[in-house]
Chain A
Amino acid sequence: MDGAPPTRDLSFAEALREAMDIALAEDDRVVLMGEDIGVYGGAFQVTLDLVHKYGAERVIDTPISELGGAGVAVGAALTGLWPIYEFQFSDFSTLAMEQIVNQAAKLRYMLGGAVSVPLVYRMPTGSGTGAAAQHSQSLEAWFGHVPGLKVVQPSTPADAKGLLLAALDDPDPVLIFEHKLLYKTKGAVPEGRHTVALGTAETRREGRDLTLVASGVMVDRALEAAEALAGEGVSAEVIDLRSIRPIDRDTVLASVRKTGRLMVIYEAVKTLGIGAEISAMVAESDAFDFLDAPIVRLGGAESPIPYNPTLEAAAVPQIADIVRAARDLAGGVV
């Protein structure tokens, strides 16, 4: 392909690490902060060995002080550094809500545009690892509800790299939700500097009969479901949101205009979440006139994430759930 950079297969974690490596090498102002991100390499080994290359002054182990750490990142961003702060689990961001929501998100606005807060919070997220209720949540919609924050959720190694570098280039605070089940998944990743513009969705599979909107780990599940549905004669389009805020309205609406049927798939608790937002987005737009069936939201159970593996799987949409719901939607049973 002309002009396209060569790619290699990297894992999702390796792609994130490569992005940070590039950023650290490019600019002295970039610093990594987080619990056990140095010689330990981070809870999910995403920052492995970076401390050896860039030193403990730039790959900084923080005390177990999420509020302090997240806030130090805000202050550093305000005064000339470009911090990437890793939460060990995105669940722990609840300890730092004050700094993320009251400070990082609002400072620019409160100060009438006098400052920017260029920082990235990395958020290992999601269920499926047997870590139970306090280490498995999907909180992206919480943060997506806060003006001043940007929220992205990659589904492939290439996007993980591209979105992390784009997040770092962006002058505003960005939270990148990295699904823990994706860290070891492999995919082709462009070499060198590769960015994916924030707020751009990607149509992963073209289809005719219905639109499946997903992000993060749910994209692969939606794609597998779409493959199974194709065998039944149902043609599903799969849209990978990639960004939760800003959200790529145009891509979603164009697809709904084409298929007339919409299903939103997400791991987070179903109510008051991304599904509601996208449904409302369609209902408020001219794409409404193209809807030929009610919108279906396939979200997580109205419960904390349970420990037992069978229960844990039951609490979030699985491929079979998507196939079943999509079949009903396409078949006019909904």
Chain B
Amino acid sequence: MPDTPPEQVPFAIRHYDAQTLTRALRQMFLIRKFEEGAEAAYMRGLIHGTMHLSIGQEASAVGACIGLSAADKITSTHRGHGHCIAKGADVARMFAEFFGKETGYCRGRGGSMHIADVDAGNLGANGIVGGGIPIAVGAGLSAKRLGTGAVTVCFFGDGANNEGAFHEGLNIASVWKLPVVFVCENNKYGMSTSTEKSTAVASIADRAAAYGMPGLSVDGNDFSAVAEAVEDAAARGRTGEGPSLIEAMTYRQRGHSRSDRNRYRTKEEIEAWTARDPLPRMAGMLIDHGVLTEAQVAEIEAEVDAEIAAALDFAQTSPDPDPAAVTRDVYTVV
């Protein structure tokens, strides 16, 4: 829209080229359709265990990672499919991991909760709430000691902000001025307990003050807002100014896990947040600003559908691990 005043043009449109923005939209579709595909496979009994879906949170995952290089690191959470895809993972190997196959990212040893893509800089999802926070700080220490210039984006949920690891990790990162961006995806609930019930401060971003770092709360369903906040924080980190805390306000449209009965939130609340779904918002923004046409968006969606179908096929036809290899990779050197 050439008639929009420049100051009203979203950061993302100003900052990224069309190719990057198209990749971002495509990744958001990929996350959504990957999780829908996983959910369907789960319901058909093809996946065992459980999984934590991030449907509705795609903008924060992709917005936080869009400016990162492969040298930059992320640490992720149990709700980490989006982070993994946003950092560049191959959905075929992700599905293979869900199906417990030898071709999966973890060769069937990790499953949904431990997917990592170390080559792409994803140090791994984590089954422990807050477990990735000290690890991200350690990655920050390495970057600083080795002078790599890399930053680490540390994803965690609102639940983690009450773990000791959060407080110890943020304090250490700040004391040592490490290049870490703490991204709290506040989806309002730690399982069923709301942030109002669990957290003493109104905004988790307010916690930043205690650790001497900037804290910013943004609309987590707005790709551009998240990307802008993380770009700023990453720049601080790279220039030695230390860590930042960003709170991305978002919402998981599905339950905590596959066994969630949604007893703790209302239909109205879910509908209100579904109306703020980040995917149509992102597509709309790109169409509004002439980056893509509706037809191109539909074409991207169709491509993603085909990629998901092929990925599911790859996963289903991949070999299972050899039971004799159950103790492989416990140690590097036995």
Tell me if chain B binds chain A.
Answer: yes
The CA-CA distance from A75 to B123 in the complex, in Å, is: 9
Task: Specify the chain B residue showing the minimal Cβ separation from A75.
Answer: B138
Residues of B within 8 A of A74 (CB): 134-135, 138
Indicate if the CB atoms of A65 and B110 lie closer than 8 Å. Answer: no
Indicate if the CB atoms of B329 and A103 lie closer than 8 Å. Answer: no
A79 contacts B by Cβ under 8 Å: yes
Task: Specify the chain A residue showing the minimal Cβ separation from B150.
Answer: A79
Measured CB to CB, the closest approach of chain A to B127, in angstroms, equals 8
A111 is contacted by which of B116, B141, B143, B175 (Cβ under 8 Å)?
B116
Indicate if the CB atoms of B330 and A108 lie closer than 8 Å. Answer: yes
Residues of A within 8 A of B137 (CB): 68, 71-72, 75
The CA-CA distance from A112 to B171 in the complex, in Å, is: 32
The CA-CA distance from A170 to B124 in the complex, in Å, is: 22
Indicate if the CB atoms of B118 and A115 lie closer than 8 Å. Answer: yes
Indicate if the CB atoms of B116 and A114 lie closer than 8 Å. Answer: yes
B164 is contacted by which of A67, A83, A108, A170 (Cβ under 8 Å)?
A67
Residues of B within 8 A of A246 (CB): 334
Measured CB to CB, the closest approach of chain A to B315, in angstroms, equals 15
Residue interface bits A114-127, CB-to-B below 8 A is 1, else 0: 11100000000000
Q: Which of B104-154 contact A (CB under 8 A)?
A: 104-110, 114, 116, 118, 123-124, 126-128, 131, 133-143, 145-146, 148
Indicate if the CB atoms of A67 and B168 lie closer than 8 Å. Answer: yes
B83 contacts A by Cβ under 8 Å: no
Task: Specify the chain A residue showing the minimal Cβ separation from B102.
Answer: A112
Residue interface bits A52-86, CB-to-B below 8 A is 1, else 0: 00000110101101011111111111111101000
The CA-CA distance from A316 to B106 in the complex, in Å, is: 44
The CA-CA distance from A78 to B118 in the complex, in Å, is: 10
Q: Which of B104, B138, B140, B171 has the most CB of A within 10 A?
A: B138
Indicate if the CB atoms of A71 and B165 lie closer than 8 Å. Answer: yes
Residue interface bits B90-109, CB-to-A below 8 A is 1, else 0: 00000000000000111111
Indicate if the CB atoms of B141 and A102 lie closer than 8 Å. Answer: no
A147 contacts B by Cβ under 8 Å: yes
Measured CB to CB, the closest approach of chain B to A77, in angstroms, equals 7
Residues of A within 8 A of B118 (CB): 111, 114-115
Indicate if the CB atoms of B134 and A68 lie closer than 8 Å. Answer: yes
Query: Are A108 and B332 CB-contacts (below 8 A) given A57-B145, A76-B142?
Result: yes
For the side of the interface on A, what is the size category?
Answer: 35 or more
Measured CB to CB, the closest approach of chain A to B83, in angstroms, equals 15
Residues of B within 8 A of A65 (CB): 168, 171-172
Task: Specify the chain B residue showing the minimal Cβ separation from A114.
Answer: B118
Indicate if the CB atoms of A110 and B106 lie closer than 8 Å. Answer: yes
The size of the chain B interface, using a CB distance under 8 A, is 48
Residues of A within 8 A of B124 (CB): 107, 110-111
Indicate if the CB atoms of A79 and B73 lie closer than 8 Å. Answer: yes
Residues of B within 8 A of A76 (CB): 138-139, 141-142, 145
Q: Which of A63, A103, A109 has the most CB of B within 10 A?
A: A109
The CA-CA distance from A170 to B331 in the complex, in Å, is: 10
Indicate if the CB atoms of B165 and A67 lie closer than 8 Å. Answer: yes
Indicate if the CB atoms of B128 and A68 lie closer than 8 Å. Answer: no
B141 is contacted by which of A75, A98, A171 (Cβ under 8 Å)?
A75
A148 contacts B by Cβ under 8 Å: yes
Indicate if the CB atoms of B143 and A79 lie closer than 8 Å. Answer: yes
A195 contacts B by Cβ under 8 Å: no
Residues of B within 8 A of A172 (CB): 331-333
B169 contacts A by Cβ under 8 Å: yes
B329 is contacted by which of A60, A67, A83, A108 (Cβ under 8 Å)?
A108
The CA-CA distance from A77 to B142 in the complex, in Å, is: 8
The CA-CA distance from A170 to B333 in the complex, in Å, is: 7
B328 contacts A by Cβ under 8 Å: yes
The CA-CA distance from A8 to B99 in the complex, in Å, is: 58
Indicate if the CB atoms of B138 and A109 lie closer than 8 Å. Answer: no
The CA-CA distance from A78 to B126 in the complex, in Å, is: 14
Indicate if the CB atoms of A68 and B114 lie closer than 8 Å. Answer: no
Indicate if the CB atoms of B138 and A112 lie closer than 8 Å. Answer: no
A selection of 27 A-B contacts at a CB cut-off of 8 Å is A29-B146, A65-B172, A67-B165, A67-B168, A68-B134, A69-B168, A74-B138, A75-B134, A75-B138, A75-B140, A75-B142, A76-B138, A77-B138, A78-B139, A80-B146, A81-B142, A98-B165, A99-B131, A99-B134, A102-B127, A102-B131, A109-B109, A110-B114, A110-B124, A115-B116, A170-B332, A172-B332
What is the interface of chain B, defined by CB distance below 8 A to chain A? 73, 75, 104-110, 114, 116, 118, 123-124, 126-128, 131, 133-143, 145-146, 148, 164-165, 168-169, 171-172, 175-176, 327-334
- Taking A80-B148, A171-B332 as given, write out 15 further A-B residue pairs in contact, using a Cβ cutoff of 8 Å, ordered by the A residue number: A29-B146, A72-B172, A74-B134, A76-B145, A77-B138, A81-B138, A81-B142, A81-B146, A107-B124, A110-B114, A111-B110, A112-B106, A112-B110, A114-B105, A115-B116
Interface pairs A-B: 4 shortest CB-CB: A75-B138, A71-B134, A68-B168, A112-B107
